[in-house]
Amino acid sequence: MLGEGEGRVEAGKSGGGLTYGYDVVRTTRSDGTIEVGGRSVNAAEAAVVRRIFEAYEAGMPPRKIARMLNSEGIPGPRRRGWGASTIHGNAVRGTGILNNSLYVGKFVWKKLKYVKDPETGKRRSRVNKKSVIVEKDVPELRVITDELWNRVKVRQRKVSFTVTGAAKKPWDRRRPRYLLSGLVKCGSCGGGYVTISRTHLGCATARNKGLCSNHRAIAREALEATIIEALKTRLMTPDLFKEFCDEFIKEVNRGGANRSRRERDVCRFSHQQDGYQSRARAA
């Protein structure tokens, strides 16, 4: 039996979510109910999609494409500014503008599954098996030619895991985590301060999107030393030390609650399995 989203895809409708370049179309059935999942090409956004594909195929990197679109005031998906990751996405998972097969007239449903990380509580995406994935041709929604799509795929394979012309393994590209990774914010726009060189941090919004005027960089080691020194000299005041202790206790209790929840889930599963085995033996 097909699920609701899968059934819509088989009928040539969207299984869910809105793709940049398309408008939502809702029609009323004879019984008065609303049929969802319809899509139509948004001409203005489709033109932007073609520009992105053509610029990338011509050799322009995603970061530069994003800055170009932002400088022209072109709204991105969800009316936000463009970022490099919005454009390049992940080729294996089919995310990002350059990897969305709807642009060549094909709905793809259930390519990803989502699992909850027991440690962080966040959802993580995983690629489904091919036997699970549902595909449906919708030529009326095509905005990119097969020739342009294929040329982009060729360039993606050429630059994949390559830095300054030297092929690298995926784990070599993974950036190391430092003391303040993910914690430093830009004072001008509130965006993250990220590694922009081996030794310095800078505003990601200014660097990747061109939407912030703060182009100042700071040495990572100097920032870490400043923070550590401030903690040594200021954290020991009674009021701040009490606040630190209170937050530390909350975090410890939160971790204990998560562990207890996981232990209860394991016990519940174990009891269920025991029940199944008992019924099987009785049968």
Q: What is the pLDDT of residues 232-247, one digit of tens each?
A: 777 777 887 788 888 8
Return the CATH number of the domain spanning residue range 4-173.
3.90.1750.20
| Residue 283: both structure tokens together | 């049968």
Residue 64, pLDDT score = 95
Q: What pTM, to 2 d.p., does this model score? A: 0.65
Average pLDDT over all residues of the chain: 81
Decide: residue 94, CB within 10 A, 0-12 exposed, 13-18 middle, 19+ buried: middle
- 8 A C-beta contact, residue 125 and residue 114: yes
pLDDT in tens, 94-137: 889 999 999 999 988 777 777 777 766 777 777 778 777 778 89
